[in-house]
Every structure is written in structure tokens, then in C-alpha cells.
Amino acid sequence: MIGEIVPATVEHAIAMAPRAREAEVRELRDSAGLSVLDVLIGELARSASAWSWVVDGEVACMFGLVTPTRISGNAFPWFLSSYLMDRHAHAFARASRLLLPELLERHPRLIGMVDARYALSVRWLTWLGARGKGDEHLVHFDGPVRRNGRRAH
């Protein structure tokens, strides 16, 4: 398998931020006025769980789950990536999906929204089993997801 999923660190954020994909830099600047590094460090601090996907010693992406309380079954996923994802998106999708049973054991309901113009994030969330609805700007997703990646009814 290409790459390795490891627990995320601030050092990973510092290494990845300058290599962030332009779509993400633009989305964060336009929506929140924040830099990629500021967002990564903030998300790491708020996350119940966070990981980095490292390919050949470089951080390709970082992702995690923010929970409103320690005992909540709800989770708000986040994902930021570097240009390495352009070459390795399929390998990452397969690797991250291996985490899904463990994640859903603790957090059976994924909630959030993503900029609809950012196709990579929408595809990743769909690959994990999130189902959303939205307009041309935002895709909202909310609901339980089964372990096989399909939405529970």
C-alpha cells in the first residue's frame, strides 16, 4: 500500500501547510480568512482523533474528527490536503476507508458541510459513506453511516 496513516502532529501541520492545494488555500481564505497552518493547528486542538497520511516521508493530507463532547456519538470530519493528493487520491481513499469501522464504532453519525466546488473533499466524504444534499456552493451531510460505508436507514 502507498503511504501510511499515522496520528497527526503539529509537526505534520507545519510540514504540510506550505504544500496545501490551492483550492484549499482559497477556500479557507474566502470562508474564514485563515491560513492553512492556522486551521490545521486549530483542528488538531479540537479533534477527538486526527491522522496524517504520509507518503515517502511527506505529509500528503491530514484529517480528523471533532466531537462536541467526549461522549457524543456525533462527529464533524475535517480534511486538508497537499498537492501529493493529485497523484495518490485513490490510494488514500482505500487507506482511509480501512479506518471507517473503528471511527463509526465511536462516532456513528457524521455531520458537516463542504464547499461543493471542492470535488476532492466531496468524493472523499462520499467514499466514506456520507450522503449529502446541497446547492452549487455547499454540500451538507448528516446522518448515521453503516460500517460498510453505506448510509444506515
* CATH number of the domain that residue 20 is part of: 3.40.630.30
In a domain, 22, yes or no: yes
Q: How confident is the model at residue 1 (pLDDT cuts 50, 70, 90)?
A: low
In a domain, 120, yes or no: no
Residue 131, CA distances (Å) to 3, 122, 142, 150 in order: 27, 10, 7, 9
The predicted pLDDT at position 151 comes to: 42
In a domain, 102, yes or no: yes
In a domain, 86, yes or no: yes
State which amino acid sits at residue 115: D
In a domain, 74, yes or no: yes
End-to-end CA distance of the chain: 33
In a domain, 50, yes or no: yes
Distance CA 108, CA 101 (A): 9
pLDDT at 145 over 70: no
User: In the predicted model, what is the mean pLDDT of residues 67-86?
Assistant: 84
In a domain, 52, yes or no: yes
Structural domain count of the chain: 1
The predicted pLDDT at position 51 comes to: 94
Write out pLDDT tens, residues 28-70.
888 889 999 999 999 999 998 899 999 999 999 999 989 887 7
3-state secondary structure of 111: strand
* Contact between residue 61 and residue 78 where contact means Cβ atoms under 8 Å apart: no
* Contact between residue 109 and residue 142 where contact means Cβ atoms under 8 Å apart: yes
State the chain's maximal CA–CA distance in angstroms. Answer: 41
In a domain, 18, yes or no: yes
Write out pLDDT tens, residues 89-141.
888 888 877 877 877 777 777 777 777 777 777 777 777 677 667 665 555 55
* Contact between residue 118 and residue 125 where contact means Cβ atoms under 8 Å apart: no
The predicted pLDDT at position 57 comes to: 95
Provide Rg for the chain, Cα atoms: 14
Domain residues for 57? 4-110
The model's pTM is 0.80
